[in-house]
Amino acid sequence: MEVVVEIVDAQIHPPDPATPWVYGEDSKIALSCELAREAMDSVGVDAALIHTGNAAYCEFAIETYPDRFAGCLTFDPNDTEVANFVSGYRNRPGMLALRTIARSWVDGKLTEDFIEGRFEPAYDVAEKHNVPMFIQAAGYLPSDLTPVVRNHPNLLFVLDHVGLDQQPGVVPDDPWERLPEVLEMARFANVALKLTGVPTLARSPFPFTDVWPYVHQVIDAFGANRVMWGSDFTRMRYAPRSVERGPRAGWFGLYSDAVNFIRDTEELTDDVKEQLLGGTIRRLLSWNT
């Protein structure tokens, strides 16, 4: 008998129209929300965490489909009201986590805000108020992130995108060459990992069989209770090293590919699948638990 597991996507972005939208922001948000929901329905995804800087989008999606969406906002650490924003964040319906962009997608370097420690006040408040922090810091593990993680032992940090360089950034010939640095972060109990963008690291077509030796290392190091799957399907259509929609032949797989390579694999037990595909994110983010 087939085991049906809940599937919770740990990362999507608003799938906005690819052409300029001239009908007003409200209708654009409504359309994008329906596009996301329809895409999820089409591949059997039950719920998704929206990563965006657009609070209005998250609020609309959560209000419209409270059982389907939750929010993870990027934020400006230089905002004079950032402490109040973070302290009251979890009181907003469906807002579960925040995201730090410590590394620029454009040049691959650490941002000045991160280098200068400008996120620290927000981290202090997030730690006090139990607001998990997703963080994009690929290429700077463990050297630059370790001091931050140590300074905030009660703040959950979730490494974005397997902690590795991924498209649209520059990806090395061996996309897994820095995996040992990622695995080193598993020694910190307050660090988890988001298994997103794995198809972009594959060198074989769907079902991406060449990724499994590396994925197993991740799960062995962190434990399935600290690894959450996500598709980031809204990035799969980008042309290499671009944030523009590319030709179909250049896409990094379909949404269904990102779901099915892990849901249907025999590489994982049903218990591990249940954690990766929803159990871990539900528990770590206290999402309806």
Per-residue pLDDT reduced to its tens digit, 88-124:
999 999 999 999 999 988 888 999 999 999 999 999 9
Mean pLDDT value across residues 198-202: 94
- pLDDT (0 to 100) of residue 289: 57
Mean pLDDT value across residues 175-193: 97
Mean pLDDT value across residues 74-83: 96
208 lies in a domain?
Answer: yes
Higher pLDDT, 214 or 167: 214
1 lies in a domain?
Answer: no
183 lies in a domain?
Answer: yes
Tokens of 232: 């980031």
Is the pLDDT assigned to residue 262 strictly greater than 60?
yes
Mean pLDDT value across residues 256-284: 97
**Listed residue (45, 54, 47) closest to 72, CA to CA:** 54
Q: In what order do the strands lie in the sheet with 227-229?
A: 8-12, 47-52, 69-74, 95-101, 133-136, 157-159, 191-195, 227-229
Average pLDDT of the chain is 94
Mean pLDDT value across residues 257-286: 97
264 lies in a domain?
Answer: yes
Tokens of 82: 């950032």
289 lies in a domain?
Answer: no
DSSP per residue, 59-106: HHHHHH-TTTEEEEEE--TT-TTHHHHHHTGGGSTTEEEEEEE-B-TT
pLDDT over 70, % of the chain: 99
3 lies in a domain?
Answer: no
19 lies in a domain?
Answer: yes
The angle that helices 255-263 and 25-43 make with each other, rounded to 10 degrees, is 40
Higher pLDDT, 38 or 169: 38
Alpha-carbon distance of 17 to 130, in angstroms, equals 35
| Number of domains comprising the chain | 1
Which residue range is the domain that position 87 belongs to? Answer: 8-284
**CATH code of the domain covering residue 41:** 3.20.20.140
H-state helical runs in 141-238: 146-151, 179-184, 198-201, 212-222
Alpha-carbon distance of 254 to 264, in angstroms, equals 15
- The SS3 call for residue 214 is helix
Maximum CA pair distance of the chain?
A: 56
Mean pLDDT value across residues 220-239: 92
15 lies in a domain?
Answer: yes
Q: Tell me the Cα Rg of the chain.
A: 18
pLDDT over 90, % of the chain: 85
Mean pLDDT value across residues 61-71: 98
> Tokens 């060449």 belong to which residue?
210
For 146-165, write each residue's pLDDT tens digit. Answer: 999 999 999 999 999 999 99
pLDDT tier for residue 210 given thresholds of 50, 70 and 90: very high
For 12-49, write each residue's pLDDT tens digit. Answer: 999 998 889 999 999 999 999 999 999 999 999 999 99
pLDDT tier for residue 1 given thresholds of 50, 70 and 90: very low
pTM (global) more than 0.85: yes
